[in-house]
Amino acid sequence: MTMHLDFIIVDNNSLNCFIAERMLQNIDSSIGVHTFLHAQEAYEYIKKQPVNPEGHKTVVMLDIHMPLMDGFAFLQEFQKLPEEQQNSFAIYIITSSTDINDKLRSNKVPAVKRFMSKPITFNMLNEIISNMMVEA
């Protein structure tokens, strides 16, 4: 069975959204990409998604430092969702923060798979994709 991957990019910098989308398309054009400049909108979108069918995974690439709802506030809301809905998503923190406290704080959230430091690279995205394949 082939595995279908979707990506949700949450970053208030549209340049970063463009970068991630462009790189993902380059790696595999069958990957679905949704980008959000506001974490609140991403959350509303995620909330409305049906639970993923088997063989379908959605990766959320989440920035931490954002105005209004930041990455931590997003995680807090996300954790209130029903468990099976949460399980449809794999969250990767992608941030320019090297602050060790940010890292410790986000690693406490079970839905967070990894904390990765920017820049976004092909290697980074390939790593996320192969991680998801292994888990499936």
Partner 1 sequence: MEEIKILYVDDEINNLSSFKSTFRFDYKILLAASQVEAMNYLAQNPDISIVMCDQRMPGSSGVEFLEEIKLRFPRPVRMLVSGYTDMEALVNGVNKGNIFKYIKKPWSAAEIKAAISDGYKHYLTSSLLTQKNEELHRAYKQLDEFAYNVTHGLRDPILSVLSLVEIAQHMDDVPDSVKEILQMVGLAMVQLDNYVENTHDYHQLKNDSTNISEISFQGLADELEQAYEPERARKAITFTCNIDQQETFRSNKTLLHVIVNNLLSNAFKYQRKNISDNFVALDITVANDIATIIVKDNGIGIKADYIRNIFEPLYRATSVEYGSGLGLYNLKDALQKLGGDIYVDSKEDVGSTFKIVIPNKK
Contact residues: partner 1, CB under 8 A? 13, 15-16, 19, 22-23, 26, 65, 96-100, 117-123
- Choose between 46 and 128: whose C-beta lies nearer to partner 1: 128
What is the distance between the alpha carbons of residues 58 and 87, in angstroms, rounded to a whole number?
9
- Choose between 10 and 46: whose C-beta lies nearer to partner 1: 10
Residue 128 sits at the vertex; the CA angle it makes with 124 and 131, to the nearest 5 degrees, is 135
Tell me the helices (H) and strands (E) count for the chain, helix number first.
Answer: 6, 5
In angstroms, give the least distance from the CB of 136 to partner 1.
23
In angstroms, give the least distance from the CB of 22 to partner 1.
6
What is the distance between the alpha carbons of residues 46 and 44, in angstroms, rounded to a whole number?
6
- Choose between 60 and 94: whose C-beta lies nearer to partner 1: 94
- Choose between 45 and 122: whose C-beta lies nearer to partner 1: 122
What is the distance between the alpha carbons of residues 55 and 13, in angstroms, rounded to a whole number?
31
In angstroms, give the least distance from the CB of 98 to partner 1.
6
Question: Taking a C-beta distance cutoff of 8 angstroms, is the pair 61, 5 a contact?
Answer: no
Q: Which two tokens stand for residue 29?
A: 């054009």
In angstroms, give the least distance from the CB of 5 to partner 1.
20
